Amino acid sequence: MLSVFGVLTLPPLCQAKLVIDVDNPNLVKMPIAVPHFWSQSQSPLNGADLAAIHRNDLSLTGLFQVIDGSGVSVSIGNAEPDFDQWSRLGVQALVLGNYEVVGDELILEARLYDVPLRRIELGKRFRGKIADHRRMIHRFGDLVMEKLTNVKGCFSTRIAFAGEAPTREIFSMDYDGHNLRQVTANGAINLSPEWSPDGARLLFTTYIHNKPDLWLWDLARGQGWPLSARAGLNVAGRFSPDGRTIAASLSFQGIPKIYEITIEGSIIKRLTDGRGNDISPSWSPDGSAIAYVSDQAGSPQIYVVSVNGGEPRRVTFQSSYNTDPDWSPRGDCLAFSARIDGRFQICTIKVDGSDFRVLTNKGSNQDPAWSPDGRMIAFVSNRSGQKLIYVMDAYGQIQIPVSRVAGKSPAWSRN
């Protein structure tokens, strides 16, 4: 069991000045130093490796200029850092960590400092199993992000995905690719996993009965059951933001349409009409609308419609083939796949159809999935010769592979 102890609480009138305005279009990356963590005793863990985990977390957000601090003397214990030397390097924020192994437990302390103001802004002490060291550092990173941006980070989250042949099971992993776990073992084709808002269940499409059915899977119990096994297609299930209902594409009445169903599988209502094939729903963060793909205009395009009815509004016009919409948790834009020059690329666009951006240009890239804080996107790319899950910042400046096995259809947990 992992426990967390706060070691510092700032008084209300002593608010940190070290803040990143993530909405600033002219954002300059904050210089932050994360030198190696130190231990005064023998340990199976390496302090340089521990610091590297935190540096990787911060780098992937695209908000920081991360400095490793090599060659700079690091204060030991609770001694105050040498702010002058860090200031000469242009560092604005500084993270220092120390750790100790006691028996089979790890005690990890980490602190965030404001270098210009020469003060500590955040301090935490973690205690747990040695094997949980990555989890501890991810949790501290979440708190650093919350302190600097006013939104909690997503480094403690997980990504589910569908494996590629020959193992087409559902898997999950930490957001950075570590701690890979196989969820299903049914020997069938399994596709399009989706996390419940509380992270306790996965919704996915399976061909376990030689047809596409929607199943729910309880992660704690390691058991699944059919949610919708109607005639025809039962695919692309997505939980509503409150987790009470599910939007899915069903074709039991003919061509695929988007329906809202209960978590027991009963139909509440049909959300889309018209003559087109409608697939791939994605909820708005407030649950008032869905984005989806329809070929009603002759080619796959992305539309938005209110869940209370009304005329759908077409969002994409920039490509003849647009698919895989995922609504940003911040509510302002959609990530999607567009076919450009014969290959698919990950793009973003405002919900009103403005500010179209192409984020990728290497290989073919599909299946975008936003992180819960709206700062990163997971996606699938074949740029290395096989389909792997990648993670990038919201502007596509940093793109790295995270999966160790071939996969597709990533889904980001919400917590």
**Encoding tokens for residue 231?**
């005639």
DSSP code of 310?
Answer: -
Whether the Cβ atoms of residue 337 and residue 320 lie closer than 8 Å to each other: no
Whether the Cβ atoms of residue 272 and residue 257 lie closer than 8 Å to each other: yes
Neighbours of 117 (CB within 10 A): 13
Within 8 A by CB and 6+ apart from 237, the residues are 192, 194, 203, 204, 205, 214, 227, 228, 246, 247, 248
Q: What is the pLDDT of residue 90?
A: 94
The CA-CA-CA angle for residues 165, 166, 172, to 5°, reads 75
**pLDDT per residue of the chain (415 residues) written in tens, 0 to 9:** 555 544 443 433 344 467 776 666 667 899 999 999 999 778 889 999 999 999 999 999 989 999 988 777 776 666 789 999 999 999 999 999 999 999 889 999 999 999 999 999 999 999 999 999 999 999 999 999 999 999 999 999 999 999 998 889 999 999 999 999 999 999 999 999 999 999 999 999 999 999 999 999 999 999 999 999 999 999 999 999 999 999 999 999 999 999 999 999 999 999 999 889 999 999 999 999 999 999 999 999 999 999 998 999 999 999 999 999 999 999 999 999 999 999 999 999 999 999 999 999 999 999 999 999 999 999 999 999 999 999 999 999 999 999 999 999 999 999 8
Residue type, position 261, single letter:
I
First to last CA, the chain: 18
Q: What is the pLDDT of residue 11?
A: 38
User: Please, which residues bridge with residue 230 across strands?
Assistant: none
Neighbours of 310 (CB within 10 A): 9
Within 8 A by CB and 6+ apart from 27, the residues are 20, 21, 63
Instruction: Please state, in angstroms and rounded to a whole number, the distance separating the CA atoms of residues 263 and 202.
Output: 12
Q: What is the pLDDT of residue 77?
A: 61
**Encoding tokens for residue 141?**
């990173």
List of E strands, 196-332: 201-206, 213-218, 223-228, 234-239, 245-250, 257-262, 267-270, 278-283, 289-294, 301-306, 313-314, 322-327
Within 8 A by CB and 6+ apart from 87, the residues are 115, 116
Domains, in order of start, for the chain: 3-149 (3.40.50.10070), 158-412 (2.120.10.30)
Phi, psi of 292 (to 5 degrees): -160, 170
Whether the Cβ atoms of residue 345 and residue 336 lie closer than 8 Å to each other: no
The CA-CA-CA angle for residues 330, 379, 407, to 5°, reads 140
Instruction: Please state, in angstroms and rounded to a whole number, the distance separating the CA atoms of residues 126 and 143.
Output: 13
Neighbours of 266 (CB within 10 A): 9
Q: What is the pLDDT of residue 6?
A: 46
Within 8 A by CB and 6+ apart from 49, the residues are none
Instruction: Please state, in angstroms and rounded to a whole number, the distance separating the CA atoms of residues 387 and 409.
Output: 10
